[in-house]
Amino acid sequence: MSFDVRQLGRVDYLPTFAAMQAFTASRREVASQTGLQPNQDLRDQLWICEHPPVYTQGLAGKPDHLLAPGDIPVVQTDRGGQVTFHGPGQVVAYPLIDLKRAGYFIKEYVYRIEEAVIRTLGHVGVTGHRVAGSPGIYVRLDDPASHAALTGPRDPLDPFRGLGKIAALGIKVSRHCTYHGVALNVAMDLEPFSRINPCGYAGLTTTDLSTIGVSASWQEAADVLGQKLMTYLAP
């Protein structure tokens, strides 16, 4: 599977969201008119960008997780998950792919995106971790390079103790076609995360590469993440 990779730069969230919906709808429309599968009409794409400050709320998002958004706009979306923040210094990747063509299901799609993030972090010497039941990628705040696995049950009162979330995941699948995606924090103003319960978890620490001591440019992180996504999302 090959992607058309589009580096969009810094773009407003709402028109990007609308463009993802339109692209996905056009795939369905062409397929219905021709009898072809969407992948036979439009190549899969990977959009890489960053957004001005914005909170985005998932379909199941609860208003009480928005603590004090202030002057940062809040956008209701059609992706899964709860509220998150996008802002400058964060690499956002939107894979627009046909899972039927790729040959795997949603659960594996999520796993593959997370693996791409883990490999991207490994490129800069950071070990990314999954936390069962909590999509996204986390790092050990006291030792980001530690390869030690997260073993044993997490504290039910503080399941993220010692961890910081460095990448958030939110997806939508419509007739096998994906949109929305993953956001990797590189060098951000993290203060807006304190105004929400990130991804619906009160007190969850959000971090970025800069805070854990990694000096990487936005472009470097974007290039590596794009490459890893193309590799790990292949059929």
pLDDT of res. 38: 45
In a domain, 137, yes or no: yes
- Residue 153: the pLDDT is 67
DSSP string covering the chain: ---EEEEEEE--HHHHHHHHHHHHHHHHHHHHHHS--GGGTS--EEEEEE-SSEEEE-TT--GGGB---TTS-EEE-SSSS--EEE-TTEEEEEEE-BHHHHT--HHHHHHHHHHHHHHHHHHTT---EEETTEEEEEEESS-TT------SPPBTTBTTTTEEEEEEEEEEEETTEEEEEEEEESS---GGGGGB-GGG-TT--B--TTTTT----HHHHHHHHHHHHHHHT--
List per-block mean pLDDT (blocks of 10 residues) for the chain, which spans 235 residues: 88 97 83 49 89 96 95 97 97 96 95 98 97 92 89 73 95 95 98 95 94 97 98 94
Please check whether residue 154 lies inside any domain of the structure.
no
Sheet holding 74-76, edge to edge: 74-76, 54-57, 84-86
Which amino acids are annotated catalytic? 199
Q: Is residue 156 part of a domain?
A: no
61 located within any domain: yes
Residue 76 lies in a domain: yes
The answer to the question of residue 195 being in a domain is yes
Confirm whether pTM is higher than 0.75.
yes
Is 155 a domain residue?
no
pLDDT for 190: 98
Residue range(s) defining the domain that contains residue 54:
4-148+162-232
Q: How many domains does the chain have?
A: 1
Confirm whether 189 is domain-assigned.
yes
CATH number of the domain residue 204 falls in? 3.30.930.10
